[in-house]
């Protein structure tokens, strides 16, 4: 199996490691518009060969597109134009606009829309790590519109990493990810800004930043190149969640002002039930 | 050296492990108003002996008080009344009200106010872990009001765990911790509530909750018994930070509504500079 990966960042690079390691791919062809990323990918032995976009698509059995979601929406129809019988997947963090971009494409059946839900706050080929996807959830969208053999191949690929496959409509996916992923990032960015604004003395933050702070703002290290396009494509859902989040914070604020610590106690108890869900 | 620990929770229990392991304490005496906590502490071999409060203070060379900060403010003056030449420390997450509670006590010199900045989202003797404090920051307050021998003993104790000692005024401590610790917890509680409110289908959150979400809301598992008293004592500083945090979130909200993704890009870039501070 020849797998071409377009976009050799954290996700593309980590997929390259896993799919080569577990034997799903015999050959990994890397495509990236940044020559430096291709060089890094070679130095890290993420890819076997490099190719142009056209050549990479032509030679592949399976093409994985792992680029920011704004470029993805623009590039995907062009890629589909070049498809003969290859299978094409995306791994984008939004789904509605991506699925719409090729909804009526004559080769639609060769495409499978996916979102393997794993990542770190780091970016680039140097951030690629083994086992990133192991046993995580992976959303598959509108699978009924994919050719059965294309879908079967993609399911087989994700199963080599023991991913838990979840089928979901694109709109539902975008609502859920606004809640369980996008708002977490927005909140971390805002928290980092709040603290940086106040604590001009960086040494002091460093001194005092205990584990709690680090884990809460860890995501604030994430790159805007990835996240601005996600926020842009999922703007409406994100705004809904953000409004609710601001309202919840305002509820705590009112309780603090009124010294209603009984209600704060109850709110925290309710928040504690997240224990049942998270390990 | 006989060390009495009052309050056998995560912090008291973890100190018991470290101080016994590194040889600072020959004997650890445990005091806790909950017999079940004492039993658990024995079963986990955290303590050598149990004692009543009075007996524990009388027999100790060093007394560590590791109880929620509301009980601490009430109990501390009574404990100081029983002191002959023992050294007494607290490990509370707030400092202003605690230091005030014994400011004019005739035995004030035997007391050292401290805040070893380490913790997890778990509670109770069963949550105690080795090496919790290793190489973390520890704040010491108003050290000039402690007897030199008392201060020297406490510094020696924290140095056995390689803690980085930082001297700070109580008010400054409470402002800084509002920013680097208390707001992170409040934000995590609010985020958990927001998601729980929306995602009634817990299985779905579980399916989709990737690493990002887990790390951001991890702190939402923290117990209200510890955190409500902290929020109560540090209400004014916390309200300042909370207002700024809500304003920052509102800035993102306005940008999203106006589709001003250029400014969102800049905000995220600025937030990214937290990289320089956090590992």
Q: Mind listing the pLDDT tens digit for each residue in A239-267?
A: 999 999 999 999 999 999 999 999 999 99
- Number of neighbouring beta carbons within 10 Å of residue A254: 11
Q: What is the largest CA-CA distance in chain B?
A: 67
How do strand B2-6 and strand A164-168 relate by DSSP bridges? unpaired
The C-alpha of A130 sits at a distance from chain B's nearest C-alpha, in angstroms, of: 15
Question: Which conformational region is residue A111 in: left (phi greater than 0), alpha (psi within -120 to 50 degrees), or beta?
Answer: beta
Cβ contacts (< 8 Å) between A182 and chain B: which residues?
A: none
DSSP assignment of B135-204 equals T-EEEEE-GGGS-HHHHHHHHHHHHTTT-EEEEE-HHHHHHHHIIIIIHHHHHHHHHHHHHHHH---HHH
Q: Which long-range contacts (CB under 8 A, 24 or more apart) does A235-239 make?
A: A235/B256, A235/B259, A237/A174, A237/A175, A237/A178, A237/A182, A238/A178, A238/A182, A238/A183, A238/A186, A238/B256, A239/B253, A239/B256, A239/B257
- Cα-based distances in Å from A60 to A22, A72, A92, A276: 18, 18, 20, 43
Q: Tens of pLDDT along B88-137?
A: 999 999 999 999 999 999 999 999 999 999 998 999 999 999 999 999 99
* pLDDT at residue A260 in the model: 98
C-alpha dihedral, B160 to B164 to B170 to B172, nearest 10°: -170
> Of A168, A193, A210, which marks where a domain is finished?
A168
Considering the domain architecture, whether residues A164 and A177 belong to the same structural domain is answered as no
A123 and A187 together in one domain: no
Question: With left for phi above 0 and alpha for psi between -120 and 50, is residue A135 left, alpha or beta?
Answer: left
Tell me if chain B has a CB within 8 Å of the CB of A52.
no
Rounded Cα distance between B247 and A32, Å, is 39
Give the A:B interface size as CB pairs under 8 Å. 292
Question: Is B6 in the same domain as B82?
Answer: yes
My answer on whether A205 and A70 are in the same domain is no
**Residue ranges, chain A, pLDDT below 50:** none
B193 touches chain A (CB under 8 A): yes
CB contact under 8 A, A199 and B189: no
What does the alpha-carbon distance between residue A143 and residue A111 come to, in Å, rounded to a whole number? 9
State whether A245 and B274 contact (CB < 8 Å). Answer: no
Tell me the longest C-alpha to C-alpha distance in chain A. Answer: 67
CB pair distance less than 8 Å for B256 and A231: yes
CB B246 within 8 A of CB A249: yes
User: Of A151, A168, A185, which one is at a domain's C-terminal end?
Assistant: A168
pTM value is: 0.90
Tens digit of each residue's pLDDT (9 = 90 or more) over A213-246: 787 888 999 999 999 999 999 999 999 999 999 9
Min CA distance, A19 vs chain B (Å)? 20
Mean pLDDT of B77-95: 97
Burial of residue A29 (CB within 10 Å: 0-12, 13-18, 19+) is buried
What's the pLDDT band for B216 if we cut at 50, 70, 90?
Answer: confident
Closest CA in chain B for residue A217: B216
Residue to substitute from B94, B191, B229, interface A, most A β-carbons within 10 A:
B191
Q: Whole-angstrom Cα distance, residue B258 to residue B252?
A: 10
Tell me which residue in B220, B242, B273 faces A249 most closely, judged by beta carbons. B242
CB-based contact A159:A16 (threshold 8 Å): no
Q: Do A12 and A142 reside in the same domain of the chain? A: yes
pLDDT of residue A151: 98
Distance in Å, alpha carbon of A192 to nearest chain B alpha carbon: 5
Strand-strand pairing, A164-168 and A137-141:
parallel
Nearest neighbour of A244 by CB, restricted to B137, B194, B211:
B194
Mean pLDDT of chain B: 94
User: Please, are residues B65 and B89 in contact by the beta-carbon 8 Å criterion?
Assistant: yes
Count of domains observed in chain B: 2
Residue written as token pair 């377009």:
A6
Residue of B nearest to A195 (CA): B179
* pLDDT tens per residue, range B238-263: 999 999 999 999 999 999 999 999 99
Rounded to whole angstroms, the Cα distance separating A77 from A108 reads 10
Query: Distance between CA A49 and CA A28 in Å, rounded?
Result: 7
Residues A205 and A104 in one domain: no
Sheet holding B27-31, edge to edge: B49-50, B27-31, B2-6, B62-65, B87-90, B111-116, B137-141, B164-168
- Please provide the size of chain A in residues: 279
Q: Are residues A161 and A207 in the same domain?
A: no
Examine the domain organization and report whether A157 and A192 are in the same domain. Answer: no
Q: Which strands make up the sheet holding A87-90, listed edge to edge? A: A49-50, A27-31, A2-6, A62-65, A87-90, A111-116, A137-141, A164-168
Residue that has been written with the tokens 């086992």 in this structure? A131
The range of the structural domain enclosing residue A75 comes to 2-168
Question: Is residue B211 over pLDDT 90?
Answer: no
Q: Supply the pLDDT for residue B202.
A: 60
Interaxial angle between packed helices A235-258 and A261-272, expressed in degrees from 0 to 180 and rounded to the nearest 10: 140
Instruction: Answer yes or no: are the C-beta atoms of A266 and A252 closer than 8 Å.
Output: no
| A:82-111 residues touching chain B, CB 8 A cutoff | none
Give me the residues paired with residue B2 across strands: B27
CA angle (B40 as vertex; B39, B43 as ends), nearest 5: 90
Do residues A82 and A116 both lie within one domain? Answer: yes
Same domain, B133 and B265: no
The complex scores an ipTM of 0.91
Total residues found in chain B within this entry = 279
Residue in A closest to B276 by C-alpha: A202
Q: Which residues of A touch B179 (CB under 8 A)?
A: 194-195, 198-199, 205
pLDDT at A128: 96
pLDDT digits (tens, 9 = 90+) for B60-70: 999 999 999 99
Q: Are residues A124 and A188 in the same domain?
A: no
Query: Hey, what are B36's tokens?
Result: 């079940």
A80 & A198 share domain = no
Interface membership of B206 toward A (CB under 8 Å): yes
CA atoms of A209 and A220, how far apart (whole Å): 14
Of A164, A220, A269, the CB nearest to B271: A220
pLDDT at position A21, please? Answer: 96
Domain limit, last residue, from B140, B168, B196: B168
Nearest to B252 among A190, A196, A216 (CB): A190
CB of A218 less than 8 A from some CB of B: yes
Model confidence band, residue B279 (pLDDT cutoffs 50, 70, 90): low
The answer to whether B268 contacts A213, with C-beta atoms less than 8 Å apart, is no
Distance from CA of B39 to the nearest CA of A (A): 25
Q: Which residue of A has its CA nearest to B179?
A: A195
Q: Which residues does residue A139 pair with via DSSP β-bridges, in sequence order?
A: A115, A166
CATH number at residue A199: 1.10.3660.10
């Amino acid at each position: 199996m020849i797998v071409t990966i377009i976009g050799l960042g954290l996700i593309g690079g980590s997929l390259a490691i896993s799919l080569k390691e577990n034997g799903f791919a015999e050959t990994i062809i890397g495509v990236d518009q940044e020559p430096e990323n291709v060089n890094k990918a070679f130095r890290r032995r993420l890819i076997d060969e490099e190719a142009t976009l056209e050549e990479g698509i032509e030679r592949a059995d399976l093409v994985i597109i792992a680029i920011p979601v704004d470029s993805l929406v623009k590039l995907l129809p062009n890629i589909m134009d070049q498809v003969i019988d290859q299978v094409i997947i995306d791994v984008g963090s939004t789904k509605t606009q991506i699925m719409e971009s090729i909804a009526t494409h004559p080769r639609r059946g060769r495409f499978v829309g996916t979102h393997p839900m794993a990542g770190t706050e780091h970016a680039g080929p140097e951030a690629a790590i083994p086992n990133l996807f192991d046993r995580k959830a992976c959303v598959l969208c509108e699978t009924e519109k994919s050719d059965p053999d294309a879908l079967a191949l993609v399911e087989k690929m994700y199963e080599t990493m023991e991913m838990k496959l979840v089928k979901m409509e694109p709109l539902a996916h975008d609502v859920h990810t606004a809640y369980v992923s996008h708002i977490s990032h927005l909140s971390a960015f805002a928290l980092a800004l709040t603290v940086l604004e106040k604590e001009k003395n960086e040494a002091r933050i460093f001194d005092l930043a205990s584990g709690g702070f680090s884990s809460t703002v860890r995501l604030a290290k994430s790159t805007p190149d990835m996240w601005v396009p996600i926020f842009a494509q999922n703007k409406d859902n994100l705004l809904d969640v953000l409004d609710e989040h601001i309202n919840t914070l305002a509820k705590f604020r009112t309780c603090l002002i009124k010294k209603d610590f009984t209600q704060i106690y109850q709110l925290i108890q309710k928040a504690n039930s997240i224990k049942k869900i998270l390990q």
